[in-house]
Structure 1
């Protein structure tokens, strides 16, 4: 009997799909939308505060000395990715990739790397966790300024929004809570570390709220009349191709430059991933409400693909490391 493999969808992915479905059927509008928007902003600020409170400064300090690794990851995230996104958008005709989705693909490539999943996959692969913590954190802090600047550079002619007010909003909503968490870590760090469930719930809940708002506004503006099935399939194909390119590219490049296997895993998982946590609130600030939902589609799809693929890759790294360790006694 032939067994058909089932898609590996986690609870959060199902929640995202349910949120998009809810926004499609019952989009929030009027005064209620303003209230939900306020709650979402507060949840995002709390999320970044808790990230700052939990992040051990010792691990960041330990990883800072590995400047070659950090420079490579930073260049991949904010130079190579944006250029690849620009090339893809410039190459594909509008009939295959509508303008709003094209903006979303480019916006995806302008985002910083993830923090939690990059570190988790590096740890699972038995890689350089300290370097991953440092690089992912630097990427996210740098992304608060770099992403709006890159949006101004790459998307100004395509409807991307940029202004000093937008940067100020992002700094206030993301950077200041993170810094506050770091400053208050002495008093709240241990409590935040013990309550990982709270951080996870805040993380996912804040994203779901912002996604609900963005898609509600997009649905009211006629979202599903603008996106044919073929365009969604094209986005899945593009996201998959971009992820494959960077997974293979980071692996080959790290080996060519002489990095250790432990460093290679940090480069692969930090240099090939994009942050949904940072992308969702930034899209709400940088793009018009009716556009933000469409812009987020490529980001959400890429998020799920990267989680599934990187989970498999991390397990293979771990298995290879275990085999190498088992072979040591026999070789001696």
Structure 2
């Protein structure tokens, strides 16, 4: 978080220009490609297929990620008077895949169905590389925004993201074990790429701070918080209506409410390359990421405490049965 805010400040105060800007653009492209190659080498194919028997749970998570979010965000973005880049950013946020690491971590902290969370988050990210450009194109056709080229977006996603990921999967026999033994190094590289992309984005968006007032920034923060609470509520109500177990409900709540910053920024780098509003477009996902991290901790702890209380309440019954 400190690195992200430092990158935003540096991009605003010391923007790159000329040859340095071109060099950073090329560095971003190569760094994102390497990032997806490493993730392809790190993810065992079996993880993407574990827990597929829980089809109701996965259908709910998929619906929350790619249906409920757009239904909640799109009407507000279309009728609002937000700047063009910011409304596009909220539409982009709505169609992003779920976060992998935080979805799994919070599901584990809350004592939920971790194998299902692994499966759902992995599948969401793989499908998201295809779903995000399609859904974004549909939303931008209806909205006043224009200039989004779906074919060009698909080409960028295939060559810059999917191809390195596929190469990583193909190299698992050679590089898979090496990458799996270094999860901290991979996490650090993830964070470094995110910070680099943020710096380049805000460096290229020279007019962002003249467009974005404090009032608008606070409005974006409130909108992200309201969106997260609404998805939490929909996830809980839907999980209980489907009579899912408590463990599956937890997986649905955390996998269905998360949006991936690690996938979102590289996707934005491909889909909105060269846009003067790039910084404004990625602002909602940056804000939402911070909100989901903080709110997720409190909710996960509440779920975990509920599990502990339930275990404590069952102890006398277990002892009585044993006696």
Q: TM-score surpassing 0.5?
A: yes
Residue 65 of structure 1, CA deviation? 2.1
Q: Does 1:130 align with 2:115?
A: yes
Residue 229 of structure 1, CA deviation? 1.2
SS at match of 1:207: helix
Provide the rounded CA distance (Å) in 2 between the counterparts of 1:102 and 1:61. 35
Which residue of 55, 69, 75 corresponds with 1:81?
A: 69
Provide the rounded CA distance (Å) in 2 between the counterparts of 1:49 and 1:320. 40
Range that drifts further, 152-161 or 71-80: 152-161
Q: Paired residues, what number?
A: 315
Q: Which residue of 2 aligns with 1:90?
A: 78
Provide the rounded CA distance (Å) in 1 between the counterparts of 2:63 and 2:233. 16
Q: Does 1:325 align with 2:288?
A: no
CA contact (8 A) 2:74 2:91 kept: yes
Q: Which residue of 1 aligns with 2:96?
A: 111
- Which segments of 5 or more consecutive residues in structure 1 lack a partner in the other structure? 1-12
Q: Does 1:305 align with 2:291?
A: yes
Provide the rounded CA distance (Å) in 1 between the counterparts of 2:73 and 2:200. 26
Which residue of 58, 78, 99 corresponds with 2:46?
A: 58
Provide the rounded CA distance (Å) in 1 between the counterparts of 2:49 and 2:72. 32
Which residue of 202, 210, 231 corresponds with 2:216?
A: 231
Provide the rounded CA distance (Å) in 2 between the counterparts of 1:141 and 1:60. 9
SS at match of 1:235: helix
Q: Does 1:101 align with 2:86?
A: yes
Q: Does 1:289 align with 2:275?
A: yes
Residue 133 of structure 1, CA deviation? 1.1
Which residue of 185, 188, 192 corresponds with 2:175?
A: 188
Provide the rounded CA distance (Å) in 1 between the counterparts of 2:31 and 2:58. 30
Q: Which residue of 2 aligns with 1:268?
A: 253
Provide the rounded CA distance (Å) in 2 between the counterparts of 1:187 and 1:316. 42
- Which segments of 5 or more consecutive residues in structure 2 lack a partner in the other structure? 319-323
Q: Which residue of 2 aligns with 1:248?
A: 233
Provide the rounded CA distance (Å) in 2 between the counterparts of 1:316 and 1:66. 24
The normalised TM-score by structure 2 is: 0.93
Provide the rounded CA distance (Å) in 1 between the counterparts of 2:29 and 2:271. 14
Residue 194 of structure 1, CA deviation? 1.6
Provide the rounded CA distance (Å) in 2 between the counterparts of 1:322 and 1:180. 44
CA contact (8 A) 2:134 2:150 kept: no
Written as runs of structure 1 = structure 2, the 5 A alignment for 1:167-186 is 167-186=154-173
Note the aligned Cα RMSD (angstroms).
1.5
Cα distance, 1:277–1:160 mapped onto 2, change above 3 Å = farther
Q: Which residue of 1 aligns with 2:321?
A: none
1:78-102 CA deviation, whole Å, 9 max, x = no partner?
111111111211343x1xx222211
Range that drifts further, 59-68 or 310-319: 59-68
SS at match of 2:85: helix
SS at match of 1:126: coil
Q: Which residue of 1 aligns with 2:265?
A: 280
Residue 160 of structure 1, CA deviation? 5.5
